[in-house]
Amino acid sequence: MGKRILVVDDEKLIVKGIRFSLEQDGMEVDTAYDGEEALQKIKDNEYDMILLDIMLPKLNGFEVCQQVREFSAVPIVMLTAKGEDMDKILGLEYGADDYITKPFNILEVKARIKAIMRRTTPKQKEVSKIIESGDMRLDCDGRRVYAAGREINLTAKEFELLELLIRNPNKVYSRDNLLKLVWGTDYPGDVRTVDVHIRRLREKIEINPSEPKYVHTKWGVGYYFA
């Protein structure tokens, strides 16, 4: 069965073009034209990915993304017309996994969607499905994280970062390496993306993010799990 994607944009011609192209690739596409409609559809349905414009009526893309992250880790790609760094960083801060700047080539959109799908779809290989370290427990099949007995809601990228680090304890990864391993070599963003996600991850899993117990910084080198 094809992947199910929600496309959210108030420009109907853009939605129509994306929908037609994705359906040609065998994907099931749902649409919404304002933030409130999008949020309701995400609550009522299961999607494999959401393409979410920032400038929307009723609720903007940042507000939708923030509210979705309260109950779902579905991959979210923000669409921004401004192309400004601040919009991109804000999208990541609110829980987005990636961003695409308008105007865009539909081939780029499809390539980015497929790349994220590959990274977020559980791979069929012989690796441990449950990882435990101290009071931290990762369920890799269910993509769930527990720390000190409480479940923590992580985004797809936050989970992948944590899984990579916890599988390789005390191994220090540079920001460039983390960007390539988690986001892929074709990702157009920079290392600030890694810093934003590490900070958000710490805020969720650490009792005191300023004195981390799990994800540590090797100053001048990178990050590691201990």
How confident is the model over 206-225, as pLDDT tens digits?
A: 989 999 999 999 998 999 99
Is the pLDDT assigned to residue 125 strictly greater than 60?
no
Is the pLDDT assigned to residue 128 strictly greater than 60?
no
pTM, full prediction: 0.62
Q: How far is Cα 83 from Cα 102, in angstroms, rounded to an integer?
A: 7
Q: How far is Cα 44 from Cα 28, in angstroms, rounded to an integer?
A: 16
Name residues whose C-beta falls within 8 Å of residue 219's C-beta, 6 or more positions apart in sequence. none
> Does 103 sit behind a cis peptide bond, omega within 30 degrees of 0 on the bond before it?
yes
Q: Which two tokens stand for residue 190?
A: 């920079």
Q: How far is Cα 140 from Cα 166, in angstroms, rounded to an integer?
A: 12
3-state secondary structure of 71: coil
Q: How far is Cα 133 from Cα 214, in angstroms, rounded to an integer?
A: 9
Structural domains of the chain, with CATH: 4-120 (3.40.50.2300), 130-225 (1.10.10.10)
Q: Give the amino acid at 73.
A: A
Is the pLDDT assigned to residue 124 strictly greater than 50?
no
Q: What is the pLDDT of residue 35?
A: 95
